[in-house]
Every structure is written in C-alpha cells, then in structure tokens.
Chain A
C-alpha cells in the first residue's frame, strides 16, 4: 500500500499589514520550511513499521518552501510535485488543491492561516486536511507542533487509523449575483469599505453583518465577536448571524491578533444548517478575516451555511488512538544467547 500525504505551504501567509496594526506574528519562509520538515519527520516516524509506503505529493510553491524542506530531510522518500500554477496568488493554492484531489491524497497538510485554507477548499472543498497554523487569524488551523501533526497524518496515510477521526467542517457557500461563486470556512462579513485594498478588517464602524460557522470566544478575528455573545463550536449543527450597529450590545472583541475593539451588535441569532441569508451592496465581502470581493450598489450575495466543508483530522485523538494500538511501540529485540566454548 502507498499512502499519499499532500503538502502545501503558503509563502504569503503571515506577512500582511496586520503585522503593523495588530503586531500579529511574523512567519518568514525559513520558519515555514522548518515546520514542513518537522511534519515530514513526524509522518515518516509514524508510518515506519506499518508496512505501508508513503508518498508526499506537494505544491512546489514559487518560494520552494516544501521542495527545500524535502531536500533538507533527504532520506529515501518518494515525493512528487503536483501540476499547479505559479502566479504567486491564491490561484496557486486552488490549482494545487485540485491536483491533490485528482491524486486522491489520503490527507493534506496545509501551512497557513484561515485564508490559505479557504483558498485550498476552493479547489477541493471536502478535502481530508490537517491544517497547521502559520497565518494571522488561525481559527481553522491547529496551533500544533508540526512533528506531532505530521505523525497524525502519517497514521492516516499508512492506514493505521481511519477517517472516523476526521470531522467534516461547516462552511459558507457564497453566491454572488452575476459572478463566480465563493466560499468561507469560518466567517463571511459585509463591510461598508469599498475596496479590497490591504485586505485587513480593522474598522468595526464599517461592519454591517456577518455569518459565522463557528463563534469561538477563545479565538481572534470576527468569530470572537459572536463567540463572546453566544459561542458556537465546530460540532454544533448551526451557525450565528450577526448584524452590527450601535443599538445593541457593545462587545469588546479581539478582531485581530493584539487588537481589541468595541463592536456594536444589534442582532445575534443562530442559523440552522442549509439556511440562507442575503447581503446587498455596495460594500465588500470579507471571508475568513480578509476583504475579498466587492459588491456593486444593489448587487446581491446569498450566503448558505452547510456541513459540506473539509474533513479535519483530530490530532490529539489520533495520537491517543495510536497509543492504544501501539503504533510507536517496537517489539523487544531478542538478545542472542552468549556463546559458550
């Protein structure tokens, strides 16, 4: 058996203007290379002795992050780049995701923030994923040591563990009048701002409404606004709809790392799966913390929440299960009896 692990690192994650305004973490590409290398170490370690071979199927990004990590690792591993674009934009991630889907990867390790994973899911919406955080807003990816994340991925790809340890995520399907469809994993927000610009969402007085798949009080970003009013976790079969304005609760929320703001919330209500809400322009739609699409005056967007997103591996559960089945326990070496003359 050959188990396939997809590898994708977003060179652009963790470098936008939120480093200035909010003092968000900086992830340079040397660090990303080191993270990917540690994930490879973990995957190889967990698959050793399973009787399965591993193949790493990777996006050869323009910065060569994964390629260099594989070269540094060395060793006798099979690694194959996928056929993806080199546009230095989200299109590269989308095309790589499609190629990994076509290659039937057993699991894909992604390195980035919520925006990176959203782009990946635009190419492969229900992908089996293990997202590692190196972005700004990190609700979707795990803040997790890469060695252990890689080990969990190796357990899946080598067939030692099954898909029951993956939870299919909620997502928001976005239908914009007369334009291509879009997607959000955590939140979709309509702001009065007229341009995508530097993408960051830092002006709560411009917020109009938001749909959240998860409202996490222990996270940063738009999700925290709902989370501090009415928490909704990944397993709940509903989302949260917010309308912003002064005539309601004032929530002191961390809308970006290191950046608390007062946000007025006039409506906060749960929304069942498969329900649709409408937004009307002018304005800009932001997905997973970044302004992405502008709406003309009167242009309508329909947002539908459903559980049709990626399947994400529970790393902790995977390693507990590995302990139960002894994945990392080697048989005792039998000592040869001393020779007597």
Chain B
C-alpha cells in the first residue's frame, strides 16, 4: 500500500462527493417541479463509491455506468453546465441533448455511457479492458453495476471473459440492497455479490460503501492490480440510495420503510467524512460549508447556461447515429 493519504486527496474526495450530492438534490427537485423532462435515477447516498473509485482514474481510463449515472460522470470530472444542458435536452449537452439522463456519456472523459439496460455496462467494460490490454496501455476499465445487474447473463459473460484473459477491469458492485423495487433477498440467494468472484477466478472483496476512505483504499489496490497486469477484481460496496428508484419520492411505493432509510442516513458518507476531517483539524466545518456554497453557486450558473442554450435542430435527430 502507498503512503498516508495526503490532505490534497482528502479535500478532493470531499469536493467530489459534495458536487454529486448537490447536483443530484437540485436535479431531483427540478424533475419533481416539472422542469426536467423524463425520469432521473438519482445517486444521493451512494456518493462515496463513485468518488473513492474515480479518484484513482485519469481521463484515459474508461468507466461504464448504470441508469443511475450522474454521480459517476461528476466524479469522473463531468461539468455541471453540459450535464444540466443534457438533462434539459439542449444542444450544448454532453450528447447534444439527445441522450438525456440515462445515456449521458463523454469519450474525452472516458465515460462510455450511462445505460438504460440493467447489466448493459459489463460487456462494454470488458471490451474496453480488452482494448487496453491489446493496445498495451496501462489503462483500466471500471464497470459500475448493481446487485440486480449481477443476476444478468451479460454480467456473467463479461466477468468470465475478463478473468479468462486477465483483463484490466474493475467490476464495482454498488449493492444498495434493491434491484429497482425488489429487495435483494427476493432476487438472489446470496447476500454478498463478492462471493461470485471465485466462480470466475478473480478476487472478490467487500468494503463499506458509505466510507469514502474505505472505498478509496480498496479501489486503489484493485486498480493497481489491474494496471500491473494481474487481472480483474470484483469490488462490492455496501451502500444505499436515499431517494426512490426513480426521482425523489418516486411512485410512493411501500417497498421499504422510512425507518430503514433513516438508519442508513445516520451513516451518511458526507456527514461522516466532514465530522472526521473536522475532528482531526484537517477541514473545519466552516471550510466544508464553503465548499457546499461554491458548488451551489456553480450549479446556479450551470442551470442558467442550460436554460439559455438552444434545443437541437430537428434535422440533428439523424446525426451521431449508426443505423
């Protein structure tokens, strides 16, 4: 393992999590107010996972995301203005306003796309990993997926091939306990998705996905292992989404209790981290609040940019398509 984590890294982890939280809170409110069309799957509560992993990646490393992809893109370096523009369906968005929330992507950042298909990402990440190895780079492909996606054939096939060819791929299971509205106990006979790793011939480890340092340390080891040519890893992060599967309060279904949500919120990744940083004299409460304020100001500007941006021209519908 490397030396002690520097303050610069700690500040970076904190800011990335705050950026995700504030973006998602704002986007959720705008969706419920009818200002953003379509459905948003929000990442509030799971910030430590994307942050802890992405802090080890460069733009040359690739990620594949899920339908809950905003947090991944923000942690990978996505700009608020182009993201809001995409959610608003404007021509200045990351996908020229034609992708929206569930297909947001940016090749310059190595973000190979959010995905509307559950389990759609693993084969893409496996392919990127194959390319990285074939081209003899030291780049790594990271695949984010959920406990529900780990039941899909696409995941099994990708994990098998990645292990067979010792590809530089990190499979990050964001296990939030629910496949959409279905509790994990009702869709798989195991509790730890990491247990599946042995079946493919790769290591599987579990970390507390509400602890950004725990994720950062474990992901660092797995990514270093991938860069060294030692093959893929399955990293399971136990986490929780505070909002519903879609939107904030979604469809009002009673598939989980408020008490359960409140119990997880006691382990909030940002609150926990800010408390520890303050206790150790690394970042005061006032300095942490200043980060929130800066991020909120950036969001205000980004929304203005998006609202002032044009919609794509009708003829643009035939551009950027393969068939």
Q: Is the CB of B3 within 8 A of A205?
A: yes
Candidates A20, A29, A282; contact of B280 at CB < 8 Å = A282
Segment with Cβ contacts to A, from B96-104, B117-125, B143-151, B213-221: B213-221
Segment with Cβ contacts to B, from A104-112, A168-176, A192-200: A192-200
A300 vs chain B, min Cβ distance (A): 15
Chain B count of residues within 8 A CB distance of the other chain: 31
Candidates B190, B214, B225, B233; contact of A199 at CB < 8 Å = B214
| Chain A residues closer than 8 Å to B217, beta-carbon distance | 17, 197-198, 200
| Chain A residues closer than 8 Å to B194, beta-carbon distance | 15
| Cα of A235 to Cα of B216 in the assembled complex, Å | 41
A125 vs chain B, min Cβ distance (A): 26
Is A323 in contact with chain B by the CB < 8 A criterion? Answer: no
Given contacts A63-B191, A192-B4, A198-B217, is CB(A16)–CB(B280) below 8 Å?
A: no
Within 8 A of B (CB), among A46-105: 62-63, 88
| Cα of A29 to Cα of B276 in the assembled complex, Å | 33
| Cα of A199 to Cα of B281 in the assembled complex, Å | 21
Given contacts A26-B203, A194-B280, is CB(A15)–CB(B192) below 8 Å?
A: yes
Interface of B is mostly: mixed
Q: Is the CB of A193 within 8 A of B4?
A: yes
| Cα of A172 to Cα of B213 in the assembled complex, Å | 27
B268 vs chain A, min Cβ distance (A): 16
Q: Is the CB of A21 within 8 A of B1?
A: yes
Given contacts A20-B218, A195-B213, A296-B280, is CB(A12)–CB(B195) below 8 Å?
A: no
B199 vs chain A, min Cβ distance (A): 9
| Chain A residues closer than 8 Å to B195, beta-carbon distance | 28-30
A91 vs chain B, min Cβ distance (A): 12
- Chain B 235-253, CB-CB to A under 8 Å as 1, else 0, gives 0001000000000000000
Q: Is the CB of B214 within 8 A of A198?
A: yes
Chain A count of residues within 8 A CB distance of the other chain: 33
* Most A-side CB within 10 Å, residue of B3, B205, B238: B205
What is the chain B residue whose CB lies nearest that of A297?
B281
Q: Is the CB of A194 within 8 A of B205?
A: no
Interface of A is mostly: loop
Q: Is the CB of A20 within 8 A of B233?
A: yes
| Chain A residues closer than 8 Å to B282, beta-carbon distance | 194
Q: Is the CB of B203 within 8 A of A29?
A: no
| Cα of A226 to Cα of B171 in the assembled complex, Å | 38
| Cα of A11 to Cα of B238 in the assembled complex, Å | 13
Is B204 in contact with chain A by the CB < 8 A criterion? Answer: yes
Q: Is the CB of A17 within 8 A of B207?
A: yes
Given contacts A11-B191, A15-B204, is CB(A194)–CB(B198) below 8 Å?
A: no
| Cα of A63 to Cα of B188 in the assembled complex, Å | 12
Is B5 in contact with chain A by the CB < 8 A criterion? Answer: yes
Q: Is the CB of B280 within 8 A of A62?
A: no
Is A206 in contact with chain B by the CB < 8 A criterion? Answer: yes
- Chain B 14-30, CB-CB to A under 8 Å as 1, else 0, gives 00000000000000000
Given contacts A26-B198, A194-B5, A195-B5, is CB(A88)–CB(B218) below 8 Å?
A: no
* Most B-side CB within 10 Å, residue of A19, A20, A205: A20
| Cα of A297 to Cα of B204 in the assembled complex, Å | 36
| Cα of A164 to Cα of B218 in the assembled complex, Å | 44
Is B222 in contact with chain A by the CB < 8 A criterion? Answer: yes
Instruction: Report the 9 A-B pairs with minimum CB-CB distance, sorted nearest first.
Output: A197-B213, A198-B217, A28-B195, A195-B213, A202-B1, A17-B218, A20-B221, A15-B206, A198-B214
A interface residues, Cβ below 8 angstroms from B: 11-12, 15-17, 19-21, 23, 26, 28-30, 62-63, 88, 192-200, 202-203, 205-206, 282, 294, 296-297
Q: Knowing that A16-B218, A197-B217, A198-B217 are A-B contacts, what are 11 other residue pairs whose CB atoms are under 8 Å apart, sorted by A's residue number? A: A17-B205, A20-B203, A28-B192, A29-B192, A63-B191, A193-B4, A194-B5, A200-B1, A203-B4, A294-B276, A296-B279
